[in-house]
Structure 1
Amino acid sequence: MGEAGKALIFSRFFMKIIECPRDAMQGIKDFIPTEVKIRYINQLLKVGFDTIDFGSFVSPKAIPQMQDTAEVLEKLELDTTTSKLLAIIANTRGAGDAAQHQQIDYLGFPLSVSETFQQRNTNKSIAEAMEQLARIQDICHKHDKTLVTYISMGFGNPYNDPWNVETVIRFVQDLDQLQVKIVSLSDTIGVATPENITYLFSNLIPAFQQIEFGAHLHTTPTTWQEKIAAAYQAGCRRYDGALRGYGGCPMAKDELVGNMPTENMVGYFENNGVNLGLNKAALQAAMAESGAVFL
C-alpha cells in the first residue's frame, strides 16, 4: 500500500482525547467526596474532550472509590457539552447496570492478554472473559451503547505470561468477530517502547479498517513523548490520558507508573498542527481543580 493510501486510512477517524478521571481516582485510598468528584468532572466537561471516562459499575469491594458512580452521573451537567461518557464494567451485571443510564455512551471492558492479570483484574480466565464480552456486546446492542475493549497488558506483563505482537493481533481478530468497533491498546505497566507501539498500530490499523484503535499508555515523566510520537506517526488517533498523569490501575500497583498526562498530549498535538478544539480556559481551570481532588 502506498503512502497516500495509508494516509487515507489513518485519517478516517478524527483526533480524540479521552480524559480519564475514573482512572486517576480509582486507586486513591481515601474516599473522595461525591460532591468533589461531581465538581471536577463537570469542569472537565467544559473543556471539550471527546469522551470522559468518568466512573465504573463494578463491585465496591473491588474498587471502593467508584461506589458513588451512579450518584455522580445524576449530577453531571451534560446539556451544554459535546463530550460523551464512558463507564468501565467488569461483567454482565455491571454492564446491565450501566446500560440503564441513558447518559452513558460507552461501556469499557478490560480484556487482558495476560492470564494472570485477567484473573487479578476481573477474577476470570481469558476464556471466561471472552464469553462475558460476547454477552456484554449483546447488552450494548440492546441498549444503544458502544463497547470499548481495552487490551490490557497489551505491550507486555510482569508475570512472564506469554506475550508477543502476534498474540495481540490474534486477540484483535477475536474482537473483530464479535463486531467490537473500538479497541484500545493498554500499556498497563508502562513497558511499551516506540518500536512495539509502532509495530502494533502500523499493522493493526490498516488490517482492521472497521475498528477504531486507541492508545491507553502509562508512562514515566521521561518517556511520554516518545510513546505518543510513535503512536501518532503510526496512525493512532484516539488517546486516553489524565490531567497531571494522576492515577493508574490499582490491580497493577506494584509495577505501576502514571497515566499519560493529558496536558502533555495536548501540547504535543498542537505543536504538530493538530487542532483539538479544546477550551483552553476551561482546561486551565480543570488543571487547577485537579489539585483539590488529588492532593
Structure 2
Amino acid sequence: MTENDIIDTQAPKKNYLQEDTFEKTDPSPQYESAEYKPADKLKGKVAIITGADSGIGAAVAIAFAKEGAHIIATDYDNQEDAKKLKKRIREISGNILWLTGDVGDENFVQEVVDKTIQEYGHIDILVNNAAEQHNHESISEITAAQLDRTFRTNIFSMFYFVKAALPYMKKNSKIINTASVTAYKGSPELLDYSSTKGAIVSFTRSLSQNKEILDKEIRVNAVAPGPIWTPLIQSTIPNENKEKFGSSVPMKRTGEAYELAPSYVYLACEDSSYVSGQVLHVNGGTVING
C-alpha cells in the first residue's frame, strides 16, 4: 500500500461548501452542503463506495466521512476528480483507500475486497453506485459490446461485490444499491441503462430476502435518484437537452448530489433499523408507485 492510498486522519478540519471543484461540469455539481450536520452515525464503520470519483458517489463518500466512516473508494480512470475527492476527505479528517479499476471485472472487485480486509479486517457497508449510460434514439444503435458493457458496469458489478464482500460482512451490515427513477418511468433514449436500473430494483428486493443475508441480519436497500446534475449527465446527454434537464419534475429543477447523500447515510446507520428491501425515491417530487 502506498502513501497515497490512505489519507492522514490528522489533517486539519475546516468548514467547506464544495462549489469550485470538479469544474469540468458547467455549472459545477454540488457535492456537499454547509447545512449538513453530522452526528458520528457511522463512526468507525468500514464502507466501500463504488464510482466515488464524482457525482453521487463523491457526495456519499464525503457524507460518510463526515459521519466518521473509513472510506474505500473506487473509480475507473478519472484521476483529476479522484485527487480532489481525496483532498476533501483529508480536510474532513477521514480515511480513504483509493482503488482504480473496472468494477465490471470480477478480478478487480476481488482486489478491492482483499485490500479492504488487509487494512480493516471486515466490511460494514457496501454502496454499489458505479454506473454508465449512453444515449441512443434507436435500439439499433446499441451494439452488443455496449449492451454488455452497460450491464457489466451497472448490475454485474453488484453481484461481484456482494459475492466477494459477504464473507467479511459482520452481523447487521448494510448493502445500498443505486437504482434510478428510470427503472419505474422508463427512458426511451436510455434503453440499456434503464433496463439495468430495473434489474437493480429486483436485485435489491430479492437479495434482502436471501437466507444468507437474513441469517447475518444484513439490510439491503436502494436509492432511486431522479434528475441529478453530475458529470455523467454533462458528458452523455445532448447539449440541447441540458438546459431543460430536470424541468419536468414537480420541483422544476435538477437535484444536486449532496441532496441524495443523507438518504445513503440513513440507510447505512441504525436510524433505518427496520428498513430492508426498500427503495428511497429522491427525485424532485415525482410520485412513483413501486
Q: TM-score w.r.t. structure 1 length?
A: 0.39
